[in-house]
């Protein structure tokens, strides 16, 4: 019997490194999904629903007719919810100035990182799903501190404009999370649960 191939549907080196910690063999493929095209669904789906919709879209983009692989896809939605204002999605800033501006919007406030995880059985179309959420509070800081951090680490490819695993942690006051690995973008407790359900990880 041919072993089932597990595919991590992501181009992220961060997610690949996280999945390696579970000791499950996998290959990595990049899904073809325009994530920004889904931004307008936040109001209808909420952060949790949007994260799952994006993760499922990634899995669907990789699925092959007649295939027999297990497709593991995740998406992280960062959202700032301020009373009296519509929820604001936190994107990968792309430029240093945008990164600083996003950090300043988060200064002294709490934002959420919501992960949607989908494990799609290519043969049956069955999808196992889980949602993971963390709430992170940044302490108040001045623009000079934000800019110094951005110049030091250039977290331009990270939603929110920071990396919790480097000096970015100094910007925070409090983190509420059942699984801190979800901050990086692949919550391992939830992922391990899905892999066990699919028989890909020993109990």
Burial 135-169 (b: 16+ CB within 10 A, else e): ebebeebeeebbbebbeeeebeebbbbbbbeeebe
Q: 155: helix, coil or strand?
A: coil
Q: Which residues are marked as active site?
A: 75
Cβ(82)–Cβ(93) below 8 Å: no
Beta bridge partners of 118: 73, 129
Burial 47-75 (b: 16+ CB within 10 A, else e): bbbbbbbbbbbbbbebbeeeeebbbbbbb
Cβ(168)–Cβ(153) below 8 Å: yes
8 φ, ψ to 5°?
-85, 110
């Amino acid at each position: 019997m041919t072993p089932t191939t597990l595919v991590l549907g992501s181009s992220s080196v961060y997610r690949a490194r996280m999945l390696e910690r579970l000791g499950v063999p996998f290959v990595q493929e990049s899904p073809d999904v325009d994530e920004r095209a889904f931004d307008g669904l936040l109001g209808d789906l909420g952060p949790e629903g949007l994260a799952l919709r994006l993760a499922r879209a990634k899995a669907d983009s990789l699925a092959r007719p007649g295939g027999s692989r297990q497709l593991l896809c995740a998406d992280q939605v960062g959202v700032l919810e301020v009373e009296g204002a519509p929820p604001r999605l936190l994107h990968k800033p792309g430029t240093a100035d945008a990164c600083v501006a996003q950090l300043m919007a988060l200064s002294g406030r709490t934002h959420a990182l919501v992960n949607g995880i989908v494990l799609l059985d290519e043969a049956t179309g069955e999808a196992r799903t889980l949602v993971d959420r963390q709430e992170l509070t940044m302490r108040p800081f001045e623009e000079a501190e934000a800019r110094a951090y951005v110049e030091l680490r250039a977290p331009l490819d990270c939603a929110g404009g920071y990396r919790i695993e480097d000096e970015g942690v100094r910007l925070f006051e409090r983190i509420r999370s059942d699984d801190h690995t979800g901050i990086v973008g692949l919550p391992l407790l939830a992922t391990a649960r899905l892999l066990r359900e699919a028989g890909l990880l020993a109990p």
